[in-house]
Amino acid sequence: MLSQAVVNGLIAASTYLLVALGFSLIYTTSRFFHFAHGAVITLGAYLAYSINSQAGVPLLGAAVISVFFCGLLGVLMNHVVYNRLLRKGAGSLVLMLASFGIYLIFENVTTIIWGASTLGFSPGLPSSICKWHACITRIHILTLAIAAVSWVFLAILFARSRHGLLMRAVAESRELATAYGIKTHEIVDASFFIGSAFAGLAGILMAADVGMTPTMGLHALMMGVVVAIVGGIGSLRGLLLASLLVGLVRHLSIFVVGSQWQDSIVFALLLVVLLKSPWGFASDAAAQEV
Amino acid sequence: MQVLLSASGIFKNFGRAEVLRGLQIEVKRGETIGLMGPNGAGKTTLFNVISGFILPDRGKVHFLGRDITSDPPYKRARSGIYRTFQRVRIAEQMTIMDNLLLAFQDRAYERPMSALCRIRDWLALEHTWRRRAFELLKEMNLESEKGRLARDLSYGQQKLLSLALGIASDAKLMLLDEPLAGLSSSMVDRAINLIKIMVRKRSSIIIIEHNTSFLEQMCDYVLFMAQGQILYQGNLQELREHPGVLRSYLGGQMELA
Amino acid sequence: MEAYFYHLVVLGGVYIVLTQSLDLISGHTGLMSIAHSALFGIGAYGVAIFYGQMHYPFIVAWLIGMVLAGMAGLMVGLPSLRLRGDYFVIATFALQVLCFNFMNNVSNVTGGTLGITGIPTPWFMSTTARAALVCSSLALLFSFIKWVLTRSPFGRVLNCIREDEDLVMALGRNPVGFKIAAFMISAVMAAAAGGIYAAYVSFVDPTTFTVMDSIAILCAVIIGGSGSTAGPVFGALILIGLPEILRFVGLPYSVASNVRQIIYGMLLVLILMFRPGGVVGGFSFDIREHTRL
């Protein structure tokens, strides 16, 4: 039982990590909490579902198309709403409120189109491999692998590439970056694209595992936000540690309290972290911001 | 004269940049001091350290003989330190009158219970404060604008308001960060007028400013800061001939160019 | 027809208390909360449990609910009010989730997903006309309390916290204490509304107190106009009016609630873009951000 809980925790950790990576990538370049990220997660799953079952594209292809559209959707949100608000001088609080609005719209449109009941990709549950009293499906292995690859991808992007350097510059100060002639808008768009693509990917992986509902995105996003805050937004190592912590705490807590308390445990953890060090594991780095 | 503020051995690093390096400063009651120095000398950081918005890495700050090194900004404000910010900071979406009423350091009736249960008392008290605020507004030629939102004022007027907040707070030490920068000449006169009121009230003032004729007119002496230390203390005339000052100013300009 | 009108007045009164309570912190102090339906719920459950099941006098149960909500507010307030803006929202989200899970899971206290039914109607609400009178007076009373609070020296500090927290400190006030006080007052007011609501509808269940409801309330206040007295009233009108309009239009029940939330979302985005002070006007959100020192 314990080994199964650990496995489940690790798998949950990988989806949270994917969500948190996208969420904090967007946060680092645009400095606000993009809650509509949750809508992108949900839509990623549903788009893949429709492209697969209605248009008849094989699941893998459908997933790729859907992830691409999710990226575009993020960019679109940025252009249609956030950029306009920014031009009017909106601060991070206003942008966050607007993202609530966008989220509300998307979740409910999803419910109207696809219905509130759980949908799943056909062919149903894939075969699983069992060892040491723990079972793991191919989807689970894929999830773990994709999360790991995504993390490494971002680590390399930030540490090595010119694009990552520009992103870091924008993250430091948008005004200064603009003054130095960096095309900030393109950088922010790129972060929205990559971040939202991660979100769509996370949504598809979760849906392939347990099916999809219109509210799946909000829940996944909240776990991602907790990971992002506990880990300290912008610190890749912090995010990795925090996602493992949150995933394992969530799934090991069922041995102590019932499974209906999983969310409470995670949010209690968040409150404790906020009380102890408001900027998460990476508090030193954040405190340096002057 | 009584020593109002003394700071000694102040060190502050931001990352690898050493902004303050063992700085010493002493301010006596009623003194008006000009603070000069090239960009990046640490002038604003010094203000932040004195007013408590930044804690120094090392060193002590004493105010009225009391160690305030670890006091949060609001406690220092209560004990009588007011500072303006380089970029004007006022409550933009509050009226000018409300801005001034906040600056008066009478904090009675600020608890929610007394706000609800002693309406008559706080209304009466506010009446007197409003009258005092009105006097100040007259000094600024803003008496007709008292009900307008602060953000509707011009930049210069907002700057005047931030000075008036200091007068209203009755602070013993005023830290003015470039009070004249960006003001038109008529506004400069009004700002000087407000600073003179502070002088008359025997407040000690430290002014960061580049305008030397203004400093000559207002200040008892000037301090010249460079590389996180006070390089020179004295009158402006001698300052101009001081070799180190010249070098650091030229160096600063070369950095800029 | 008359009964229907009174019914709307009762709901309107309850929602006005709720929106005013939220506006005290969102509009006047600049702290967005997405926990207000949970705080509302604490008041409702307080009445359902202590009045409906344990048969304490209504007023006692009502007060217990308010105290509990105040304590919940303090619990979240203490760690999070040292934080600025966006982090505070996350903390209120945590409060929302914790409260909802408590209502949903602790079946022996809260009735779990079934909730608590059969709360007897207190004497002062025995007819809908009476209930309407009581609720509209409560709405007036709490609006007045908020009006006084926000115009008092206390409220002036709150407003300044919304504008610029560093300035508040530079003027000698400690923002933390004021924020905690404001959040607790707001929580107590929300619970007051909840208690009345539970007594009126005579049952409570967790589905009334979800995050989505919290977000809808916040939307309504901002659409109506933050930092004013009329704005939240208008927001409450939206909250009760929109469902009625949608029903009048003849949307099937299953879709109506989705359409309602879509409208909230769209209105919120449009208001933020084109009329940041809200419909009625008040504090507007278009101020530039003050970067930290």
Contact call for residues A107 and A42 (beta carbons, < 8 A):
yes
The distance of C92 to chain B (nearest Cα, Å) reads 22
Minimal Cα–Cα distance from C120 to chain A, Å? 31
Q: Are A15 and A203 in contact (CB under 8 A)?
A: no
Number of helical H runs and strand E runs in chain B: 10, 10
By the CB < 8 Å criterion, does B14 face chain A? yes
H or E element, residue A35? none
Structure letter (DSSP) for residue A120: -
DSSP string, C113-157: GG-B--PPPPGGGSSHHHHHHHHHHHHHHHHHHHHHHHHSHHHHH
C60-89 mean pLDDT: 84
Number of other residues whose CB lies within 10 A of the CB of residue A275: 13
pTM as predicted: 0.88
Give residue A127's pLDDT: 67
pLDDT above 90 coverage of chain C, percent: 42
Tokens of A277: 């060090």
Nearest CA in chain A to B13: A288
Q: Which residue of B has its CA nearest to C180?
A: B112
Q: Does B155 contact A at CB distance below 8 Å?
A: no
User: Is B103–C290 a contact, with Cβ atoms under 8 angstroms apart?
Assistant: no
Domain count, chain C: 1
Percentage of chain A modeled with pLDDT above 70: 91
B54–chain A nearest CA distance, Å: 10
A288 in contact with B, Cβ within 8 Å:
yes
Does the distance separating the beta carbons of C285 and A97 come in below 8 Å? yes
Residues of B in contact with A288 (CB under 8 A): 14-15
Interface size between A and B, measured as CB pairs under 8 A? 3
Average pLDDT over residues A99-107: 92
* Residue A200 contacts residue A220 (beta carbons within 8 Å): no
d(CA A43, CA A118): 14
In this complex, is the C-beta atom of A108 within 8 Å of any C-beta atom belonging to chain C?
Answer: yes
pLDDT for the residue numbered A144: 86
Q: In Å, how far is A58's CA from the nearest CA of chain C? A: 31
Residue B54 contacts C, CB cutoff 8 Å:
yes
Under DSSP, the state recorded for A119 is B
Cβ atoms < 10 Å from Cβ of A23: 28
B54 vs C293: CB contact, 8 Å cut-off?
Answer: yes
| Any C CB within 8 A of B170 CB | no
pLDDT tops 70 at residue B152? yes
The per-residue pLDDT for B255 is 40
The verdict on a CB contact (< 8 Å) between B92 and C173 is: no
Q: What angle do the packed helices A262-276 and A216-231 form, to 10 degrees?
A: 30
CA-based angle C160:C28:B126, to the nearest 5? 60
Tell me the backbone φ, ψ of residue B4, rounded to 5 degrees: -90, -55
> What are the φ and ψ backbone dihedral angles of C35, each rounded to 5 degrees?
-120, 10
Q: Is the pLDDT at B73 greater than 70, yes or no?
A: yes
Per DSSP bridges, beta strands B17-28 and B32-36 are unpaired
| Per-residue pLDDT at B142 exceeds 90 | no
Question: Which pLDDT does position C242 carry in this prediction?
Answer: 86
Q: Which chains touch B (3 or more CB pairs under 8 A)?
A: A, C
Check whether A221 has a pLDDT greater than 80: yes
pLDDT in tens, B206-251: 999 888 888 888 888 888 888 888 888 888 777 777 777 766 665 5
- In the prediction, which pLDDT does B15 show? 78
Take residue B131 and report the two structure tokens written for it.
């009258």
> Cβ of B85 and C166 within 8 Å?
yes
Is the pLDDT assigned to residue C142 strictly greater than 50? yes
What is the structure's pLDDT at C49? 92
**Is-contact C265 C219, C-beta < 8 A?**
yes
Q: First and final CA of chain C: distance in angstroms?
A: 59
pLDDT at C293 over 60: no
Pairwise CA distance, residues B129 & B106, whole Å: 9
Q: Which pairs from B237-243 meet CB under 8 Å and 24+ separation?
A: B239/B36
Q: State which residue of chain B sits closest to C292, comparing Cα positions.
A: B53
pLDDT at C189 over 90: yes
Select from C87, C269, C276 the Cβ nearest to the Cβ of A102. C269
CB < 8 Å to C181, chain B: 111-112
Instruction: Give one DSSP letter per residue of A213-224, joined into a string.
Output: -TTHHHHHHHHH
Query: What was the pLDDT predicted at C84?
Result: 67
Interchain CB contact of B16 with A (< 8 Å): no
Instruction: Give the chain C residue nearest A83 (alpha carbons).
Output: C273
pLDDT at A124: 54
Question: Residue C185 — very low, low, confident or very high, per pLDDT cuts 50/70/90?
Answer: very high
Any domain includes C125: yes
Q: Which residues of A touch C235 (CB under 8 A)?
A: none
**Which residues of chain A make contact with B14, given a CB cutoff of 8 A?**
288, 290
Between B45 and A1, the more confident residue is B45
Burial track C252-283 (b if 16+ CB lie within 10 A, e otherwise) = eeeebbbbbbbbbbebbbebbbeebbbbbbbb
Question: In this predicted structure, what is the pLDDT of residue B136?
Answer: 86
Pick the closest to residue C110 from C198, C39, C61, C46 (CA basis): C46
Residue B15 touches chain A, beta carbons under 8 Å: yes
Phi, psi (rounded to 5 degrees) for B23: -75, 140
Share of chain B above pLDDT 70, in %: 94
Q: CB contact, 8 Å: A290 with chain B? A: yes
Looking at residue A101, what is its pLDDT? 92
Contact at CB, C172 and B53, closer than 8 angstroms: no
Residue A156 to chain B, least CA–CA distance (Å): 24
Which tokens sit at B105? Answer: 């350091």
CB–CB of A290 and C276 under 8 A? no
- Give the confidence band of A268 by pLDDT, cuts at 50, 70, 90: confident
Backbone phi and psi for residue C283, each to the nearest 5 degrees, phi listed first: -65, 135
Residues of A whose CB is below 8 A from B15: 288
How many other CB atoms are there within 10 angstroms of residue A257's CB atom? 12
Q: Is the pLDDT higher at A159 or at B128? A: B128
pLDDT for the residue numbered B156:
87
- Mean pLDDT of the region A106-135: 77
Phi, psi of A217 (to 5 degrees): -65, -40
Query: Best of C144, C152, C166 to disrupt the B interface by mutation (most B CBs within 10 Å)?
Result: C152
Q: How confident is the model at residue C140 (pLDDT cuts 50, 70, 90)?
A: very high
Q: What phi and psi, each to the nearest 5 degrees, are found at residue B227?
A: 50, 45
Top-confidence range, A168-172, A285-289, C182-186:
C182-186
Which range is least confidently modeled, A155-164, B95-104, C176-185? A155-164
Among all residues of chain A, which has the CA nearest to that of C213?
A104
From the list C154, C162, C169, the residue facing B112 with the nearest CB is C154
Q: Is residue C186 part of a domain?
A: yes
**Which tokens belong to C209?**
């107190």
Range of the domain at A211: 2-288
pLDDT over threshold 50, residue C291: no
A271 in contact with chain B, both atoms CB, cutoff 8 A? no
CATH number of B3-92+170-256: 3.40.50.300
φ/ψ (deg, to 5) at A260: -70, -10
Q: CA-CA distance, C36 to C29, in Å (whole number)? A: 15
Nearest to C171 among B77, B108, B112 (CB): B77
Q: What is the ipTM of this complex?
A: 0.88
Contact between B89 and C132 under an 8 Å Cβ cutoff? The reply is: no
pLDDT computed for residue A133 by the predictor: 67
* Integer Cα distance of C33 and C22 in angstroms: 7
Q: Which residue has 């004990």 as its token pair?
A: B79
* A125 to chain C, closest Cα gap in Å: 29
At B199-214, the pLDDT tens digits run 888 889 999 988 888 8
Q: Which chains touch C (3 or more CB pairs under 8 A)?
A: A, B
Query: Encoding tokens for residue C237?
Result: 């009108």
Total number of domains constituting chain A:
1
**Mean of all residue pLDDT scores within chain B:** 85
Query: Crossing angle of helices A138-160/A162-172, nearest 10°?
Result: 80
Count CB pairs under 8 A between chains A and C: 140
One-letter identity of residue B63: F
Which chain C residues have a beta carbon less than 8 Å from that of B78? 172
Q: Angle, nearest 10°, between helix axes A216-231 and A92-114?
A: 150
* Predicted local distance difference test score (pLDDT) of residue A287: 36
Q: Nearest C-alpha of chain A: how many angstroms from C124? A: 38
Structure tokens belonging to residue B20: 């303050």
Residue A105 has its nearest CB partner, among C216, C265, C276, at: C265
Chain B: closest CA distance from residue C53 (Å): 33
pLDDT at B153: 87
pLDDT at B143: 81
Residue numbers of the domain that contains C19: 2-210
| pLDDT at position A280 | 53
d(CA A146, CA A153): 10
Q: State in Å, rounded, how far the first CA of chain B is from the last one.
A: 43
**Residue A288: pLDDT over 60:** no
Section A142-159 average pLDDT: 84
CB C224 within 8 A of CB C233: yes
Helices (H) and strands (E) in chain A, counts: 13, 2
Token pair of B213 as six digits: 């004729």
Q: Which of C76, C90, C103, C176 has the highest number of chain A CBs within 10 A, making it the mutation to test binding with A?
A: C90
**Residue A232 pLDDT greater than 90, yes or no:** no
Asked whether residue C293 is domain-assigned, the answer is: no
User: In the prediction, which pLDDT does A88 show?
Assistant: 78
By CB atoms closer than 10 A (0-12, 13-18, 19+), residue C103 is: buried
pLDDT in tens, A41-98: 999 999 988 888 887 778 888 889 999 999 999 999 998 898 888 887 777 888 888 9
Q: Cβ contacts (< 8 Å) between A90 and chain C: which residues?
A: 272, 276, 285-286
Flag if C105 and A108 touch (Cβ within 8 Å): no
Sign of CA dihedral B89, B91, B95, B98: negative
At A133, which CATH number? 1.10.3470
Q: What is the tens place of the pLDDT at every residue in A4-55?
A: 888 888 888 999 999 999 998 888 888 888 999 999 999 999 998 888 888 7
**Alpha-carbon gap, residue A146 to A203, rounded angstroms:** 12
* Polymer length of chain B: 257
pLDDT of residue B250: 57
Residue C170 is nearest to which of B83, B107, B111, comparing CB atoms? Answer: B83
Confidence band for C182, pLDDT divided at 50, 70 and 90 = very high
The predicted pLDDT at position C22 comes to 94
Q: Exposed, middle or buried: residue B235 (CB in 10 Å: 0-12, 13-18, 19+)?
A: middle
Q: Could you read off the pLDDT of C214-260 as tens digits, one per residue?
A: 998 999 999 888 888 888 999 999 888 888 888 888 777 778 888 98
Q: Are B94 and C167 within 8 A, CB to CB?
A: no
How close does chain B come to A159, measured CA to CA in Å? 20
Please answer yes or no on whether C154 and B109 come within 8 Å at the CB atom. Answer: yes
